[in-house]
Structure 1
Amino acid sequence: MKTIIAASLLAADFAYLADNIKRAEKSGADWIHYDVMDGMFVRNISFGEPVLKSVSKLITLPVDAHLMIMDPIRYIDNYADLGVNGITFHFEAASDTQTVIDKIRSRNLRAGLSVKPATPVSMIIPYLHSVDMVLVMTVEPGFGGQVFLPETLHKVKELRKYIDDNKLDVIIQVDGGINKETSAMVRECGADVLVSGSYIFNAEDMSEAVRSLR
């Protein structure tokens, strides 16, 4: 499969959010990545349902919702109702991981499970048979523009081997510090979906930035 590029709105200029969304769509990005932060699971607050409700009518690409919030099951229906195509939540933030996965899939959405840099892959192996996507955070979640953590690469390799060995229909997403150089590294390790924010939205030529990520 071709590498999927998800443009993260966290790095967009919120004063011109509609224009930024259109630029991202014209750049050749495949998904719009929507980071939701609650100030509890991560030390930041981003945007939530009201903003997505406002901009969803402008978005023509699939919306990839990344919930960096405590007790994510509370919000699955809300984001499903707003028309997202997939919901990813954090293993570390859920009291019952399988119940959250089942809830997402009951809404016919792509179910994604994410892990922070310090969480070993072994912790989520039991759930790989019931998710559609696994997200490896390559920075500490919560803030955009961070520097890529190379020590996370082994997790992508480990997941790629397990998924391939067990013939699972699961894609691997990476998020954090993704640019021209680091994208090559994660793709070589087996990543399928690259989330990029600052590198795309700060580029003079957004289309060239997206091309370079592939």
Structure 2
Amino acid sequence: MAKLAPSILSCDFSRLREQLLAAQAGGAEVIHVDVMDGHFVPNITFGVPIVKAVKKILPQATIDVHLMIETPRRYISEFAEAGADIISFHVEAERDFDATINLIKKHGKKAAVALCPGTPVEFVSEIISKLEMVLLLTVNPGFGGQTLLPGMDEKILKLRREIARRGLRTEIEIDGGVKEENIEYLASRGASIIVAGSLVFSDEEAIEEKVRRLSLKIKPY
């Protein structure tokens, strides 16, 4: 069963509490937080204080923190203590995967790695059995509201088949370019957690109703 993960990157931060509570009322169980440092990606977003705030607003939600930062292992402990439940780090930004995964698990959190669109899924073949999740970026990282890159659906399917072949239960999360017209298809290709930012927060439709409707579209997968 696929789950929708609203991304606070597209929230109106003057209404953060209101919008998060609306997403939760619509059935969102996972809240996605993109942490960008202006070095690994050409944008700066937010850090530990925002994660703490989100966890305080939604203490029962799964807080899914995506570290788009250089030397991510330096910050794992801070984000774990702030309330992150899942922590994703980029394989392109870290050399010692095992040490980073072990540190995440030491804090009792779920460990995940993230792959940029150009990084093949084979890059994680040696560590996938140690992970609770693999995050596939389906746009180039750094900014919301982009269009899904060609071929990303096949990348999702390839990873899903490999996970099934090895008898693993690893989640596949996708982030980027999710639209009303492709969300059901992406779930059918094997995405089990689907991040949606501008799709959820950037139009006039009530957030609660949109989350409920989109969740129902992907729930059968």
What's the TM-score, normalizing by structure 2? 0.92
Judge conservation of contact 1:180–1:209 (CA < 8 Å) in 2. Answer: no
- 2:169 corresponds in structure 1 to 169
Does residue 1:49 correspond to 2:45, yes or no? no
What CA distance in whole angstroms lies between the structure 1 residues aligned with 2:160 and 2:54?
A: 34
Does residue 1:193 correspond to 2:193, yes or no? yes
Judge conservation of contact 1:138–1:177 (CA < 8 Å) in 2. Answer: yes
- 2:134 corresponds in structure 1 to 134
Instruction: Tell me by how many angstroms 1:82 deviates.
Output: 1.0
- Return the letter of the residue paired with 1:206: I
- Return the letter of the residue paired with 1:205: A
- 1:115 corresponds in structure 2 to 115
Query: Which shifted more, 199-208 or 142-151?
Result: 199-208
**Matched pairs, number:** 213
- 2:2 corresponds in structure 1 to 3
What CA distance in whole angstroms lies between the structure 2 residues aligned with 1:171 and 1:54?
A: 26
Instruction: Tell me by how many angstroms 1:28 deviates.
Output: 1.4
Which structure 2 residues correspond to residues 1-214 of structure 1 after superposition, within 5 A?
A: 2-60=1-59, 61-203=61-203, 204-210=205-211, 211-212=213-214, 213-214=217-218
* Aligned-partner SS, 1:136: strand
Unaligned 5+ segments in structure 1 are: none
Query: Which shifted more, 141-150 or 55-64?
Result: 55-64
Judge conservation of contact 2:51–2:84 (CA < 8 Å) in 1. Answer: no
Instruction: Tell me by how many angstroms 1:192 deviates.
Output: 0.5
Instruction: Tell me by how many angstroms 1:48 deviates.
Output: 0.5
- Return the letter of the residue paired with 2:172: I
Is the alpha carbon distance of 1:99 and 1:206 closer, same or farther for their aligned partners in structure 2, counting shifts above 3 Å?
Answer: same
Instruction: Tell me by how many angstroms 1:133 deviates.
Output: 0.2
* Aligned-partner SS, 1:56: helix
Judge conservation of contact 1:36–1:67 (CA < 8 Å) in 2. Answer: yes
Q: Deviations over 1:132-180 (max 9, x none)?
A: 1001101111111111113111111111111001101201110001122
What CA distance in whole angstroms lies between the structure 1 residues aligned with 2:8 and 2:78?
A: 19
Unaligned 5+ segments in structure 2 are: none
* Aligned-partner SS, 1:29: coil
Judge conservation of contact 1:148–1:182 (CA < 8 Å) in 2. Answer: no
Instruction: Tell me by how many angstroms 1:106 deviates.
Output: 1.3
* Aligned-partner SS, 1:126: coil
Instruction: Tell me by how many angstroms 1:17 deviates.
Output: 1.4
What CA distance in whole angstroms lies between the structure 2 residues aligned with 1:142 and 1:209?
A: 25
Moved over 6 A (4+): none
- CA RMSD of the aligned region, Å? 1.3
Q: Deviations over 1:76-109 (max 9, x none)?
A: 1001111211101111111211211111111111
Instruction: Tell me by how many angstroms 1:43 deviates.
Output: 0.3
Is the alpha carbon distance of 1:5 and 1:145 closer, same or farther for their aligned partners in structure 2, counting shifts above 3 Å?
Answer: same
